[in-house]
Amino acid sequence: MTNPVYLDFNASAPLCSDAQQAMCAAMEVTGNPSSVHASGRAARKVVDHARRKIADLIGGDAERVIFTSGGTEANNLALNGLENVTVFTSATEHPSVIEARSDAKRIPVDANGVIDMAALEAMLKTASDAGQKVLVSVMLANNETGVIQPVAKVALLAREYGAKTHCDAVQALGRLPVDMGQLLVDMISISAHKIGGPKGIGALVIAPGVMLVPQIRGGGQEKYRRGGTENVIGIAGFGAAIDRAAANGDKMDEVRAMRDRLETVLAAEAPELLIAGKGTDRLVNTSCLILPGMPGETQVMTMDLAGVAISSGSACSSGKVRESHVLREMGISDAGSAIRVSLGLETTDEDIDTFIRVWSRMRGNVVRKKNARHAA
């Protein structure tokens, strides 16, 4: 990690040693997983081993784990792989869902960013009355605010109207239980690099009976659901990261304690501070902090100069000066003053102390400048 203090785990977690070792071992495997000779079978063994690990963790079927290039491709496959469906997505979805289907109908959210179930039911009823087939896509946990959605309730409601459900669980994996059986969804997207695996590898897991039209053609890989030679090295790292996530779930309580301490100290010092989604269930590692009067990009740069890595929202829109659609849909007027602080297993109390110290100094400068303007 380049920054001494890294608090941007929602963008990407550091590559864990287990994943690195598994990837190094996979580099020695020569064959193509589709080849029938011994070298090919060795590569296939690596792929199938990781496939089973994923299925075991999230309660799916190993035969229905489709490896992709990441969460974005998994989401695109889910939203475009079903034929002749009307797509409903929550208004606060990740860009890889929002932009995958420009014709999707948006489900509104409340001030905490939680989906409006009454609005969803009205939309489902209208579609059902019109004889439309529907796919509902709702993320398990928001990447900017950490707000957790009632996905199982959404899926149950969708079933009542004959609709299928997709869940983007990329940010939730490793931070709260992700179980297809409990979530009741038909498809679920996950990604390796949020849990200490390598970048560029993800998966879409589908339930029995889900038939997808491949979006990448050119081979029979992944049971003809996603063409292209499998990324054996990345898949090996993904499998190792899945093991680590399964083994460290109980450590999230420690992460929550650090996150809560950070928010408590900052809120006591700055009564003007707004914490997006504070009034509902959130990921234990995520804080979306809004400091009115100071642009989020300026805060990110100030923190970076002090050796602290944070972000001003989704990493997928970094470098672009645009208002967060998530905060806008929540009715937050100071969305441009938001930063995202996201913790991980490697975060320490000293990291939190450093962040608080730098943030307090930064806020103090804002307050002094504001007071000077008023005095003038």
Residues noted as catalytic = 316
Specify the DSSP class assigned to residue 284: T
Which residue is it, tokens 């190792």? 240
Q: Could you tell me the CA-to-CA distances from 286 to 115, 258, 293, 339 in Å, in that order?
A: 19, 10, 22, 11
User: 245, 280, 341: which is closest to 148 by C-alpha?
Assistant: 280
* Separation in Å, CA 271 to CA 8, 279, 290: 24, 16, 11
- Residue 227 contacts residue 221 (beta carbons within 8 Å): yes
Tokens 């007071």, residue located: 371
Do 311 and 300 contact (CB within 8 A), yes or no? yes
Cβ-Cβ contacts under 8 Å for 160 (sequence gap 6 or more): 124
How many Å apart are CA 260 and CA 347, to the nearest integer? 13
What phi and psi values does residue 109 have, to the nearest 5 degrees? -125, 165
**Going along 115-252, which residue ranges are E strands?**
134-137, 164-168, 187-191, 202-206
Evaluate whether 201 touches 237 at the Cβ level (below 8 Å): yes
Cα(46)–Cα(229) distance, rounded to whole angstroms? Answer: 13
3-class SS shares of the chain: helix, strand, coil, % to 5? 45, 15, 40
Cα separation, 100 vs 266, whole angstroms: 37
